[in-house]
Every structure is written in structure tokens, then in C-alpha cells.
Amino acid sequence: MNKKEKFIVLDVEGYSTSRPYNIGYIVADRHGTIYRKRSFALHGCIWENIVAMIATKQAENMTKRNVEEILQDTEKPYFLRKYSHVSTEKFKLFFEKDLKKYNIKKVYAYNVNFDKSSLMRLLGADTIMQYNLEFCDIITAILHTKLLSKKYINFCIENGYITEKGNIMTKAEIVYRFLTKDLTFVEEHTGLADVLIEYKILLAALNTHKKILTKPCQAWRILKNYCEQHNILINGAT
């Protein structure tokens, strides 16, 4: 990565079958400097996410809480609002403006395929392809620099950060707890707030000065193979 290069770190909120109703992103560099923060609420996409929630019969308290916060935000004076309440067309104008102004070539996200697909549903696949962006996965970057280690695996085993299927967790919330040693941290699950912690995770990977891999991968499977190769039992015995 060019030391002067600026990139976007992005996070979206919404169901995988719907357009995102909340998008947050920052323009930043590898040295920790943030040049722009954006937090968008797309009201036109809220209802289809509520329908998706009902259809899947899931008690998505997180989605319900986020939507309520967005709607309540519109009642505040403009200068106190947490979100920029925009249409899809307006979001596109802001996004394209930032891409051009900062000469953005790369977009980083945690589980980047989800975010990329969400943008495609929102703006259209052809539009996203025209931007000629490289979509980079933060999970892959931190996995091969920090997580693929006995230290991280033992941290997850000791604190019970194991999935129902018996795999080591790789959620951003858990990784952030590992990096900061703050076991009380809880991810907010709103676009911009999540971006800020995911940016810190990316910086942790970049600051190792190791080779940074960014192609999406199955992190849980790679960790599982690592455990098998090093005779680490995920039930807690090592």
C-alpha cells in the first residue's frame, strides 16, 4: 500500500436480501488520519428491511433499535443529528464526490462481500463496476497478521468465544476485544460506529508491517485448520 494513499472503510446495515438502510464510511490513510466521516440514513430502504425481518421470523432487536433511532433522529435540530438523511440518489452523489476528491482506489470492509453486495443492490452492479474499486476484506488482513496464532485461539477458548458449531469466532466485536483487552466492549451495529472500530482493526494489521492479504476468505475454516495442525482442542484443552 502506498504510504500516501487514501482509502475508504465502509460498513452497511441491512438484510442480505434488501438494500441497506444505514451506511457509514470514512476516508482515511494507514497512519490513522481520518479525512472525512459519513453517516447516512436511507429512509427509502427501511421498510423493505422491516419486511425482511418479519419474513424471516427473526426477533431482530438490533434492527428495530437502529430503525427507531434513525426515525427519532429526524426530530432533532439539523446540527444535532447523528445521520445525514438522504435518498439513494443523494447518497450516490456524496459517494462519487468523495471517490473523486480523494482519488479512492480501495474500499475496506469487515466481511467485504456483504458490503459490496449491499452497495450493488442499492446503486446497481454496473455502477459499482464503473467505479473500478478494489474491495478489500479486513477479516483477511487481521487474520494473517494477528489472529492466526495460539494467543488469539486461547483467548477465544478461555472467554467462550466459540460458535455453536464449535469454531473460533472472528466477529469484529471479538477481534476488537482481543486487540484492546477490553472484554466489555459491545459493537454498536450502526454504520459509522462500526467503521471506526473496524478501521482500528485494519490499522492493527497494517502496523505489523507484514504482508497484507485482503482477498475474502473463510477465516473460521483457516483457524480450524490451524488448530488441527497444532493439536489445539477448541473445547479448551491444548
Q: What is the pLDDT of residue 237?
A: 40
pLDDT tens profile 138-195: 999 999 999 999 999 999 999 999 999 999 999 999 999 999 999 999 988 888 999 9
pLDDT tens profile 202-211: 999 999 989 9
Q: Is the pLDDT of residue 117 over 90?
A: yes
Q: What is the pLDDT of residue 238?
A: 41
Q: Is the pLDDT of residue 63 over 80?
A: no
In contact, 134 and 107? CB cutoff 8 Å: yes
Q: Is the pLDDT of residue 57 over 70?
A: no
pLDDT tens profile 10-55: 999 999 889 999 999 999 999 999 999 999 999 999 988 888 877 7
The C-alpha cell that represents 81 in the structure block: 443529528
Q: What is the pLDDT of residue 60?
A: 61
Average pLDDT of span 197-226: 96
Q: What is the pLDDT of residue 52?
A: 83
CA pair distance 119, 20, nearest whole angstrom? 8
Residue pointed to by grid coordinates 472472528: 170
Instruction: Decide: pTM greater than 0.75.
Output: yes
The C-alpha cell that represents 64 in the structure block: 428495530
Provide the CATH topology of domain 7-137: Nucleotidyltransferase; domain 5 (3.30.420)
In the chain, helix, strand, coil percent, each to 5?
A: 50, 15, 35
pLDDT, the chain, mean: 92
Question: Domain map of the chain by residue range?
Answer: 7-137, 139-229
pLDDT tier at 58 (50, 70, 90 boundaries)? Answer: low
Q: What is the pLDDT of residue 236?
A: 46
The separation between the first and the last C-alpha atoms of the chain, rounded to the nearest angstrom, is 37
Q: What is the pLDDT of residue 129?
A: 95
